[in-house]
Structure 1
Amino acid sequence: MPSKYVKSFSLGVQKVLEYRTNFFLSLFNCIFPILIQFFFWKAVFASSNRSEVFGYSYNQLIAYSILAILMNKLIGTSFQFEIARDIKDGGLNKYLIKPIGYFAYRICCFLGEKSIEMLAILTLSMVVVWVLHLWLGFTVAGGQVLLFLCVVPLALLLNFFIYYSLSAIAFWFIESNGAFRTFGLLATIASGGLFPLDVYSSGMQKILLLLPFNYVVYFPIQLLSGKLSVEQIGQGLVMQIIWIGVFAILSGMMWNTGMKKYVAVGG
């Protein structure tokens, strides 16, 4: 890899280390959504008087909710706001005249940033799984953990390409931050980041399972929970790779079209 891209990767690492207090505070903030989920599902089970809801026991839903929050944190992106600012303010100009591709710069920075976050969050996740085992009887086989560690980088890469494709709308809209936030909320719901997709109607489930979003949160957690067969795991891995390819092509097309509209104002 050329040294300029290694440097871009190191810039992502430095960004996390520079703002490490902010990162750990954001992890601490995960406690509040977990508490909300805890009391929500407690109320649901108390009112239903059943041992299972939507095919999940109370312990399984609490475990899913905690893992979904951590997974959302792991695959989360914010570079789309930086890209929109570069396009709006002309910051993109310097990348057009320097011998470095903007896409390569962004993905190297993103992977550098996430390499540190992934190490921290995956370590925390393993601790959480151990606590869930002691507290809720949540069991995970070693093979599931290894497969989960293979699936997470693909989920991370898929989410990058989804949001990199989305960031291109900044070529057409002066203010796109609202669109990013709205899309992020809808994507979180569609990915199973709030509730497992099993809580929706069968028709809605079929639609959501056809979309790419479930492969960034729902699929990895179901794999780790041991709810998927070998065939389903294989299909999920293939679909992750296919969707990565689809959004890689889509992002290239959108950026090529958007660059024709870019007027390089500012900078």
Structure 2
Amino acid sequence: MVALASLPGISGRLIRTSVLVTVIYRAQLFVWLISGVAPLFMMLIWWELSRDRVIGGYAASDFVAYFLGIYLVRQLTAVWVIFVLNDEIRQGTLSGRLLKPVAPFWFHVADHVGQMLVRAPIVVTVFCIGASLFAIDLMPIAKQLPFFLIALVLAWIIIFHIYYCVGLLAFWMANSIALDTLVWSMYTVLGGTLIPVDLFPEATRSIVTMLPFSAALDFPVKVLIGKASGLELLHGFAVQLIWVLVLVALRRGLWRHGLKRFSGAGI
């Protein structure tokens, strides 16, 4: 077993490897970035609808900032681990991972972090260009960066664990990828990609804000654009932390029981 003290060095090497692989496959990275522009189209729609009026407390500039933030957060928390886990479990290649001195979970984490580091400068550039085109003042946004970065990290942990837990269901299902569309749809609708959560009916909004999808998307964006402060800010962070604890525990439980099934199957 690798000593805990050596894990930071190993993680660093794994992340550097992921960065190099991502840079090599530049075309794939470009396709992923283009496929995530749906929030920008929604931004144009809501901007046009609110040019002459305020909708639910959002002026045209607020909608622009919000959906630019949605684009930013979605791109920086992109997760595909469900596909990797499904293939590794169903094809038996997870066995090779288990022979390594580092738990498979950390290989998957490093892969995602490495690719995020490559795409981050591009995504931030797109965000800044969009803000400039629509004359969005970046100074108030810059002041929110410390809180935003905390919210972003927690959001990444939440969405990564949601997909990781779904991917682990491949221990019991023929194809856990079948659930990807359901998770993606809930994340898109309830996270704020199509409409800001603040514009949901009040009864619905109180429920949605307690869900992990809103905590992983809508809340970080509202922190970034200054629409979450005081008690709302504390409430948002509390919801994020609760979901982190719940999902980490769920991931560990699924892994422990699934691994017994995996070994018992003789794979």
| TM-score for both structures, normalised by structure 1 | 0.85
The Cα RMSD (Å) is 2.5
Alignment match, 1:107? 109
- Using the alignment, how far apart are the partners of 2:38 and 2:173 within structure 1? 34
Alignment match, 2:3? none
Offset of residue 139 of structure 1: 6.3
Alignment match, 2:84? 82
- Using the alignment, how far apart are the partners of 2:111 and 2:38 within structure 1? 29
Of 221-230 and 109-118, more deviation after overlay is shown by 109-118
Offset of residue 32 of structure 1: 5.8
- Using the alignment, how far apart are the partners of 1:9 and 1:264 within structure 2? 31
- Using the alignment, how far apart are the partners of 1:217 and 1:154 within structure 2? 10
Q: Is the 8 A contact 2:192 2:218 kept in 1?
A: yes
- Using the alignment, how far apart are the partners of 2:131 and 2:145 within structure 1? 10
- Runs of at least 5 residues in structure 1 that lack an aligned partner in the other structure: none
Q: After superposition, where does 1:46-195 map in structure 2 within 5 Å?
A: 51-132=53-134, 134=135, 140-195=140-195
- Using the alignment, how far apart are the partners of 1:130 and 1:37 within structure 2? 14
How many residue pairs match? The answer is 259
- Using the alignment, how far apart are the partners of 2:230 and 2:145 within structure 1? 14
Alignment match, 1:207? 207
Report SS of the residue matched to 1:52: coil
Offset of residue 247 of structure 1: 0.8
- Using the alignment, how far apart are the partners of 1:138 and 1:8 within structure 2? 34
Change (3 A) 1:201 1:235: closer
Q: Is the 8 A contact 2:42 2:194 kept in 1?
A: no
Q: Is the 8 A contact 2:166 2:179 kept in 1?
A: no
Change (3 A) 1:239 1:81: same
Q: Indicate whether 1:22 and 2:28 are aligned.
A: yes
Change (3 A) 1:151 1:36: closer
Change (3 A) 1:146 1:200: same
Q: Output the amino acid matched with 2:11.
A: Y
Report SS of the residue matched to 1:260: helix
Change (3 A) 1:212 1:23: same
Between the aligned residues of both structures, percent identity stands at: 23
Q: Is the 8 A contact 2:166 2:176 kept in 1?
A: no
Alignment match, 2:18? 12
Q: Output the amino acid matched with 1:179.
A: L
Q: Output the amino acid matched with 1:128.
A: G
Q: 1:184-212 CA deviation, whole Å, 9 max, x = no partner? A: 12122211122111222111111111112
Q: Is the 8 A contact 2:131 2:137 kept in 1?
A: no
Alignment match, 2:255? 255
Alignment match, 2:225? 225
Offset of residue 31 of structure 1: 4.7
Report SS of the residue matched to 1:160: helix
Q: Output the amino acid matched with 2:161.
A: F
- Runs of at least 5 residues in structure 2 that lack an aligned partner in the other structure: 1-5
- Using the alignment, how far apart are the partners of 1:70 and 1:213 within structure 2? 15
Offset of residue 21 of structure 1: 2.8
Q: Is the 8 A contact 1:192 1:214 kept in 2?
A: yes
Which of 27, 40, 56 in structure 2 is aligned with 1:34?
A: 40
Change (3 A) 1:214 1:59: same
Offset of residue 138 of structure 1: 7.3
Alignment match, 1:239? 239
Q: Is the 8 A contact 2:219 2:236 kept in 1?
A: yes
Quick one: higher RCO (CA 8 Å, sep 6+), 1 or 2?
A: 1
